[in-house]
A and B are shown apart, each in its own frame.
Chain A
């Protein structure tokens, strides 16, 4: 069966991105929109739009019964979930199968397994992919000491119920263990009502590196290189690049091979991303998680490989074999992506939805802008604040940085605040320019 009509159940730039590839492939597009997204660029470009509910995502973009009912009523033969929303919800993939709709993504089982941190960790270990040394649970400070004997200092003591940096303590010396454990556990109990703690190896000088993989229904898996997404603010990626700068060729190949091994082990289908944390001091890497969907930052991979990832997703979903073997994949130059958000960096990154009164996007060789906005568009208050992605291609990293700075200079947006000034500052930072990126770079720049 060949897909001829796709129901796209997402919004923003990714909806536009998917529609564009569908047009090239001769596939009809039906776009689901909430009441608040009826005027987005995606709504203008799709062959047809269906208002599936109010602005509230729970009643529109997250409502599986309405989505399936609509897909069948409009005669779609496939559903593309994009990223976020229902893109990693196994129930949607299952509902598609039950209703003879092709889900453009992996099998429900892949989503289910990788969605559970413990199962994913077990699969990684089974595939000989290193995982962050640590424990499931520690109930006394003696157990913490036993763990430290095994994995070495420093370690991070984390509250099971914690999140967003709360309930985390770094232990750098054995003398501290008793006091730190007792106070952290009591603190966790008071804050979260649960004093359960666990121990993990602490990586001070960390990089976030992820590998794009692509698999088909016949067990073939290849990688399309890695991306460095270390430049994050509060775990939100801001700048992504391919390939990862300043790592040894040996480490690069090891990381790529580990990702393929993991994906092969579960016979992964479609596009997926295996995320690793890299310890720069020790030149070691550890599995973090696998994302079973297209990523926001996929364009940097497309730029250096020349492969349209959405097209390959659809191709594989159609039941076709991968059109490339590993040796067909070539990496040309360097690519950087900057996420532009409607936020005021000078006011603590406060979101700034509203009417865009001026919108002039950068142009020229090696510049790509993925966006759903235009002059006269009102950024709605209901969804995330990303309004555009600027992606550049350069013959070298240095070249790409200069091209990005030129592009950001040219990007004229009025009516709302954006993160463009902050991104320029990041790109001009000496450590960033030298490729010395780490997950703590932005802390340093903002200090």
Chain B
């Protein structure tokens, strides 16, 4: 972690940031940008991903990764995975607009092996017609024996499953279509 950054952000700020991240997870938005003269903070995915940019008065820019528990990381990634028909970040900031109701695609945020069920022979996490909440686990992704839960990221009904169990999925590949509530 950068020395510069620690001199800009104090403990209270970190706590505030943590609260903000938690609020963001519970919201339909996946991106938040805060900016004033000296400091710019970006929380979320969409390429900027999980990084904080801070510039001090000398104009030096420092970056650090927010250390987060695994579960939070998955939630954020998956929240970002549902990228269809998202309002632009600017629109989010200026005037909170509700996400359009419609069919949203849950996409793979990493290349890896997709598993539709917790273990061989078990029932799949979800099937067509199931209702899911934002934090519903819809599958697993394995990268060299490391398994991560794929969370829905949106609330609604599974209308289509695009992948099969134990299949290689590629970064950005559609996994599920969800009709939003």
Contacts and interface: CB of A to CB of B under 8 A. Distances in A.
Interface of A: 35, 50-54, 59-60, 65-66, 68-70, 73-74
Contact of B146 (A35, A51, A53, A65): A65
Interface in B119-168: 142-144, 146, 168
Contact of A51 (B47, B113, B173): B173
Given A53-B111, A54-B47, 4 more contacts: A50-B111, A51-B111, A69-B111, A70-B111
A69 B147 CA distance: 12
A50 B144 CA distance: 17
B172 A51 contact: yes
Contacts of A35: 171-172
B168 A65 contact: no
Nearest to A99: B144
A59 B110 CA distance: 9
A66 B113 contact: no
B53 interface: no
Nearest to A52: B111
A69 B144 contact: yes
B170 A50 contact: yes
Given A65-B143, A66-B143, A69-B143, A51 B112 contact: no
Contacts of B168: 50, 69-70, 73-74
A65 B145 CA distance: 9
A73 B47 CA distance: 27
B132 to A, nearest CB: 25
Contact of B110 (A50, A53, A68): A53
A33 to B, nearest CB: 9
A51 B144 contact: no
A65 B110 CA distance: 11
A35 B108 CA distance: 12
9 contacts: A35-B172, A51-B172, A52-B170, A53-B111, A65-B144, A68-B144, A69-B142, A69-B144, A70-B111
B171 A54 contact: yes
B142 A51 contact: no
B148 to A, nearest CB: 12
Nearest to A51: B170
Contacts of A53: 110-111, 171
Contacts of B143: 65-66, 69
A65 B142 CA distance: 10
